[in-house]
Structure 1
Amino acid sequence: MRVTIAQLEVSADHSANVVVVRQACAEAALVSADLLVLPEYASGYDPRGVGIEHAESLAGPFVQLLREQSAETGVTIVAGMVTFPEGAAHGADPGPDRAAAAPRASNIVVVVRGGEVVGAYRKVHLYDAFGHRESDRLEPGDPAAPPLVVTVGDLAVGIMTCYDLRFPESARRLVDAGAQVLVVPAAWAAGPGKVDQWRVLARARAIENTCAVLAVGQAGKGVSGHSLLVGPDGSVAIELADAAAVTSADIDAAGIAAERDRNPSLANRRYTVVPVPTAPTAPLTPTD
């Protein structure tokens, strides 16, 4: 599977972001990539916090761009974005139960292939840490929702995002569902020690699950960059710096299989992951 890592600098200007994303799609097509991974909040970002003001529907311009580009290029695209909460549309009345509170958006990762949205993951672990409170602006996903694993080329790709990387059970649940590669779009907050933690966590998720980890961060103000491709033995094959960059690499299914044969820790384990359920949420659909 050939992957293109698009470590983009994303702004609050959605129209400008469309131009940047289109360029990344062109670079992925140029190298005949099977998979293009964009960062979390690729549709619009503000380092002070992202909420309902940056939300778009799944029928909006950002997803429409991804659908067009995936249809034209044949590349599967994974991208983080913000959409409206359940049952809401842009400008809709929040209703009496929600009117008193500020409306919250949903942080999701969409998977687009052949012009269609083939999967969407709602961020389960909101970033309420290091002085940030995503839960003030975002609604969490249901931890009991089915894990999102899609086949790309000859590999099964599991989807999580950003702060999820700190929770090993999120990765293990995807691997239990068949994932051989973990894809982690992120806007990893900058700060003392944060890049080192990002690197250590990505390597740990790879080692403990004998899988490849593709962790794609944002570049720019307030975020860390340093996108990573980590092998199933924890070796770092690619690490970008903190500036915007696009690069590509191949992930070998045979290499993952060989590492799992050499290190059968998944077969040797004695515990399973069981999600703590919350109120169920309806599936995301590309409607207004």
Structure 2
Amino acid sequence: MAVRVALVQLTTGRDLEANLDLVRNGIREAAARRASVVVFPEASMRAFGNSLVDIAEPLDGPWATAVCEAADEAGVVVVVGMFTPGNADTVRNTLLVHGRGVHTHYDKIHLYDAFGFKESDTVTAGTEPCQFTLDGVTFGLGTCYDVRFPALFTANAAAGAQVQIVCASWGAGPGKAEQWDLLVRARAADTTSYVLACGQSDPSAAGVDARRGAPTGIGRSAVVGPYGKLIERAGDGPEILYADIDLGVVEEARRTLPVLANRVTL
């Protein structure tokens, strides 16, 4: 049996309630198309380039609770980027996962201190990989800059993940789109997993003002098969991609190309 997943590419802004409405609308539309798992980008709670410490809340706070209620009402699992309190005057860049008996979260491990941006100034890094299972399919989680670090995705696969979810708000710039495309395909090939990469859409394509220099998204969400072949790719504006996850494809790939079984710890 296949599990249908929706990747909701959107652009969020400063206003939490407006962003929550975008998430609710995406959940409703994806559920109407029979998706079981609905994935949203990193920073869905509030876009980068805005203050984050003042809106960070625990996983049972009002914004997170509203998302959980929407997931429960629709009967789906939601994966959504938000911000929870970190150490001192920082936040954690968190993926909330909730619905159909699943409730967990992942805190971004690799912080984006690159291309002139310094995420570690405002964000406390996570320390532990995270996976969840629905209908016999195990999903591993990663956030944006994490996609440059293969060991996280190998750890997810070693823990049973057949699907890797990457939620992002990818920074624009020369060569950045090409790097994103390469990296999401590479993580599929080196773990023989599906990769579901859901990014913020380009603010200019969504008609949203964004702070210049902040990593606010380029679109190009993607579904990649376990050999690294691109299956679907979004454009730069708001869009929903759908993928039907067939575990038989993963099993066949892992028999044919047993990179996980053949790997050597150096």
In the alignment, the residues of structure 2 paired with residue 50 and residue 244 of structure 1 have an alpha-carbon distance, to the nearest angstrom, of 24
- Name the Cα RMSD after superposition: 1.5
Equivalent AA in structure 1 for residue 152 of structure 2: S
User: CA contact under 8 A between 2:59 and 2:96: conserved in structure 1?
Assistant: no
In the alignment, the residues of structure 1 paired with residue 238 and residue 84 of structure 2 have an alpha-carbon distance, to the nearest angstrom, of 24
Comparing 27-36 and 127-136, the one that deviates more: 27-36
Aligned with 1:243 (options 232, 237, 241): 237
TM-score, with length taken from structure 1: 0.84
Partner of 1:153: 135
Identity %: 39
Aligned with 1:175 (options 147, 150, 157): 157
User: CA contact under 8 A between 1:28 and 1:75: conserved in structure 2?
Assistant: no
Written as runs of structure 1 = structure 2, the 5 A alignment for 1:110-259 is: 110-114=96-100, 118-142=103-127, 145=128, 147-221=129-203, 222-259=216-253
Written as runs of structure 1 = structure 2, the 5 A alignment for 1:7-46 is: 7-46=9-48
Q: CA deviation at 1:49?
A: 5.4
In the alignment, the residues of structure 1 paired with residue 96 and residue 64 of structure 2 have an alpha-carbon distance, to the nearest angstrom, of 8
In the alignment, the residues of structure 2 paired with residue 118 and residue 49 of structure 1 have an alpha-carbon distance, to the nearest angstrom, of 28
Partner of 2:208: none
Q: Structure 1 segments of 4 or more deviating over 6 A?
A: none
TM-score, with length taken from structure 2: 0.91
User: CA contact under 8 A between 1:7 and 1:225: conserved in structure 2?
Assistant: yes
In the alignment, the residues of structure 2 paired with residue 137 and residue 49 of structure 1 have an alpha-carbon distance, to the nearest angstrom, of 11
User: CA contact under 8 A between 2:141 and 2:156: conserved in structure 1?
Assistant: yes
Q: CA deviation at 1:193?
A: 0.8
User: CA contact under 8 A between 1:36 and 1:75: conserved in structure 2?
Assistant: yes
3-state secondary structure, aligned to 1:5: strand
1:71 maps to 2:72: yes
3-state secondary structure, aligned to 1:79: strand
In the alignment, the residues of structure 1 paired with residue 139 and residue 51 of structure 2 have an alpha-carbon distance, to the nearest angstrom, of 27
Higher strand share: 2
Q: CA deviation at 1:62?
A: 2.0
Deviations 1:21-52 (A, max 9, x none): 11100011101111000000111113x35531
* Gap regions ≥5 residues in structure 1: 87-97, 273-288
Q: CA deviation at 1:200?
A: 0.3
Partner of 2:95: 109
* Gap regions ≥5 residues in structure 2: 204-215
User: CA contact under 8 A between 1:34 and 1:153: conserved in structure 2?
Assistant: no
Q: CA deviation at 1:117?
A: 6.4
Q: CA deviation at 1:113?
A: 1.3
Comparing 243-252 and 232-241, the one that deviates more: 243-252
Q: Greater CA radius of gyration, 1 or 2? A: 1
In the alignment, the residues of structure 2 paired with residue 126 and residue 119 of structure 1 have an alpha-carbon distance, to the nearest angstrom, of 20
In the alignment, the residues of structure 2 paired with residue 117 and residue 4 of structure 1 have an alpha-carbon distance, to the nearest angstrom, of 17
Q: CA deviation at 1:129?
A: 0.1
Partner of 1:276: none
Deviations 1:145-193 (A, max 9, x none): 3x21111223110011110000011111111111110001110111111
